[in-house]
Amino acid sequence: MYILTLKKGEEKRILAGHPWVYANEVLKIEGHDKQGSIAKVQAHDGRFIGYGYINHLSKIIVRILTRDETPIDRSLFYNRIKQANDYRLSLGYGDNYRVVFGESDLLPGLIVDKYGDYLSVQFLTLGMEVRKEMIVDILVDLFRPKGIYERSDVPVREKEGLKEAKGLLYGEVPPSVVIVENGIKIEVDIINGQKTGYFLDQKENRDNLKHYVKGRTVLDCFSNVGGFSLCASKYGATEVTAVDVSAEAVQAVRRNAERNGFTNITAIQADVFEQLRQYKKERRKFDVIILDPPAFTKSKDTVKSGLHGYRDINMLALRQINKGGFLITCSCSQHLTLNLFLEMLKESVAATGVDARLVELRTQGKDHATLIGTEEALYLKVAVLHIL
């Protein structure tokens, strides 16, 4: 077993609850074992900190699994996955939800999403990768799914010395799965869809539209397969326009609208920035505009350019909202902190000369709860602005 001794004072953040040990925090490493195996972490003075799996190729050299002498075996992983699922069930989740959210469920590097009878999984770290077979076996025991599909096709794996990977791990997974979210039937592409197939983290925020859209015209920007659009129609919007640059997403919006019998949704394939500029030329405004863009900044190095993108799109949207209407604007970038997000909104409002007030500030759904001390996991920000 590896034994890692931290530099003096570096244990404070970890003792406060953070599960990552960075390589530059380590004073010395003793012992030897395989990469991905369990290592012991101790403070500069020899105090026990915890056990976690190790990877010398990553800047995060150890990810803590236990802070006591609990054996790290199949039982630990079984119990934690079961506890994670029991928590979601206790909150009323059933057909579709995030079962395991990595560090927040004390399972760093593991993502498990449930779509009806199917599971979509991500193994984001070496420590989870080497335990893949065991974890799949546990998931089969606990859920008896019809199929489990791996969607580890994400660049973050490269930081762990791993290649991107995707493919069937168990049973069968069809090209599309129909789930029921907020009482609405939605088609999900587990194999090729965004992330693990769909953006489950916005479920409650989509349902929250019931407070803002009744009797109003709605523009859903970056609509993906239409989650916000469908909820807007369900909750009484008079007219809904969905815009996405992806032809596949636009076709999915149309299929989902037809599947639910919603006849007031129009889906347009276009670049959202350009479409908003076109609406400005046409002097066409909406009562509610929803902005749910992809992350414009995916690293600390791109925050400045990302902020420019967020300001630009929010300013364009603010100018196309009727007085008395609402802007529902989101950022899914962990690098755009809450303070930066609010500052960006303040600057956007000031630059457009509108009068606006903050009605709500929301985050990801309850199935994406975050471990205290791991601010990185609190990535989704959603603000509702009322245009006076």
Tell whether 343 is covered by a domain.
yes
Distances (CA, A) of 1 to 35, 55, 123: 10, 13, 23
- How many Å apart are CA 55 and CA 3, to the nearest integer? 13
The number of distinct structural domains making up the chain is 3
- How many Å apart are CA 334 and CA 306, to the nearest integer? 12
In a shared domain, residues 228 and 326: yes
Q: Catalytic site residues?
A: 332
Tell whether 186 is covered by a domain.
no
In a shared domain, residues 286 and 213: yes
Q: What is the mean pLDDT of each run of 10 residues along the chain (388 residues)?
A: 96 93 97 96 97 97 96 97 98 96 96 98 98 98 98 95 97 96 96 94 98 98 97 98 97 98 98 97 98 85 85 97 98 90 96 97 96 83 98
In a shared domain, residues 303 and 227: yes
Question: Which range marks the domain in which residue 267 is found?
Answer: 199-387
Backbone dihedral region of 302: left (phi > 0), alpha (psi from -120 to 50 degrees) or beta?
Answer: alpha
Among the three residues 14, 40, 66, which one is the final residue of a domain in this structure? 66
Tell whether 330 is covered by a domain.
yes
> What CATH number does residue 38 fall under?
2.30.130.10
In a shared domain, residues 247 and 377: yes
Tell whether 162 is covered by a domain.
yes
Identify the pLDDT of residue 78: 98
Nearest to 139 by CA among 124, 156, 154, 117: 117
171-212 tens-digit pLDDT = 999 999 999 999 999 999 999 999 999 999 999 999 999 999
Among the three residues 11, 32, 66, which one is the final residue of a domain in this structure? 66
Query: Is 310 in a helix, a strand, or coil?
Result: helix
CB atoms within 10 A of CB 9: 10
